[in-house]
Amino acid sequence: MTVKSTLQQQLQTLSVARYPLHMPGHKRRVRPAPGLDCYAWDLTEIDGADDLHDADGILADAMARTAALYGARRCWYLVGGSTVGLLAGIRALAPFGSTVIAARNCHKAVYHAIELGHLTAHYLTPSADPQFGVYGSVRPADVAAALDAEPSAKCVILTSPTYEGVLSDVRSIAEICHARGVTLLVDEAHGAHYLPLAAQYGWQGGAVAAGADLVVQSAHKTLPSLTQTAFLQLNGDLADPAEVERQLDVFETSSPSYPLMASLDGCTRWLAEEGSAAFAAWRARLDRFDAAVKDLQKTKVMCFGRDALDAHPCFFAHDSGKILLQIGTEGAAYLRADGFEPEMVCGPNVLAMTSPCDEENALDRLAAVLHAWDEQAVPPAPAAHILPPPGAARCTIAEALLRPAHTVPLADAAGETAAEYIWAYPPGVPLLAPGEEVTPEFLAACRELEAAGTRLKHIGGSGKMELRVMR
């Protein structure tokens, strides 16, 4: 028998108590789609249902349960994904027109927050791993140097773990920031599984436990919660919770989905009641996979098998829930033919994302498929560093977007100043931001990406590569 979450039980009680003379239009009688049964508790902010933007009832209780599970001072449920948490969090920490320190490999939502706040950004560009062509960790020494050079900076923003599972030393970075009275925001969208109960199974060093002031986590990425759901966690006294709430009121919908919020509460309950056993089983599955791929001859698996963490000196740590395979597009097709759909294919790298909810033998089957591939594979070309250092910022992002611009062929744009973003998605990290000089290194990276089958995206979508540049 399925046990409903506390929030879901209360929503169902409300749904049968009175006839709905309110939104939504399905009136809890007509399913929006066949088999979609959550319509019964798809409510609006009626009496007894609480209000996400002024929570003092069932939603406040639900968010308090989640905060306690993670050891955070406050938690807010997000129904606009980690994107809304990054937008609101950065705006709350960095006043309009101020300066921030940001890792260059942040998600595009961070850049959009910089744009909307007319912020001046000084970037930290991590070293690239030469074997897999991915960014390494943000070094604490680089954060300290950046803050010494920019003493007016209001906050530091970084991503840990990255899309590929690379973690930074958040605890040391938080201590450096706090010694200077500067706040730290960590985009932990791909690390919602880093919570206290997971530490004994190998997932230590989560940003909440490490002392980051604001932590944004996509519950739906690695935990059992509906797509679009996320947490925003607050620690310490440097971040003002009232200002965070005000900014969430600005950026998040005023009609939050109760099914989405109920799934976050259900995820919290699942973690509290079944999390320890689920994480233990997840660790066992990953350990079996690690042992099973040790004899692969032509297939590299980052930080698994014969590839160890110490082979990547620019990594502080690695999230073992992310399996990065160097098998290229042909290898990805081979996986699909055997019933596996990878998370991402970018050049030679193919990302398999795991979670505590995987089937018991899923990774055993993956290892078997990789062995079959290894027997007949031609190793792909070594990964190139596809995320080049940024060109010089000639103005802020906001300024570049407000000035007159025109379009030129991308191949002819060297030396120009960009008036738009270009990124490869996933992971959604901009290769070029408005206001930056277009460098030959950037153009070379674009050619490498296109040759590897990766489509670049910009304002016009993807396809013919042109670039808006400042006049």
**Cα(399)–Cα(266) distance, rounded to whole angstroms?**
44
- Pull the structure tokens for residue 163: 């899309």
Q: What confidence score (pLDDT) does residue 3 get?
A: 62
For 273-376, give the CATH class.
Answer: alpha beta
Tell how strand 183-187 and strand 214-217 pair up. Answer: parallel
**Cα(119)–Cα(114) distance, rounded to whole angstroms?**
5
C-alpha dist (Å) from residue 48 to 12, 75, 333: 11, 21, 51
Q: Which CATH architecture has domain 397-470?
A: Alpha-Beta Complex (3.90)
For 53-270, give the CATH class.
Answer: alpha beta
Q: What confidence score (pLDDT) does residue 206 get?
A: 95
Across the strands, what pairs with 317? Answer: 167
- Residue 348 backbone phi and psi in degrees, to 5: -80, -10
DSSP for residue 76? E
Question: Each residue of 177-186: b (16+ CB within 10 Å) or e?
Answer: bbeeebbbbb
**Which residues in the chain come in under a pLDDT of 50?**
1
Q: What confidence score (pLDDT) does residue 158 get?
A: 98
Whole-prediction pTM:
0.94
C-alpha dist (Å) from residue 181 to 25, 140, 176, 342, 448: 49, 16, 9, 42, 42
Q: Residue type for 196, please?
A: P
Domain boundaries, the chain: 1-49, 53-270, 273-376, 397-470
- Pull the structure tokens for residue 155: 């906050």
Q: What confidence score (pLDDT) does residue 1 get?
A: 46
Q: What confidence score (pLDDT) does residue 183 get?
A: 98
pLDDT tens column, 164-201 = 999 999 999 999 999 999 999 999 999 999 999 999 99
Angle between helix 6-17 and helix 258-292 axes, rounded to 10 deg: 150
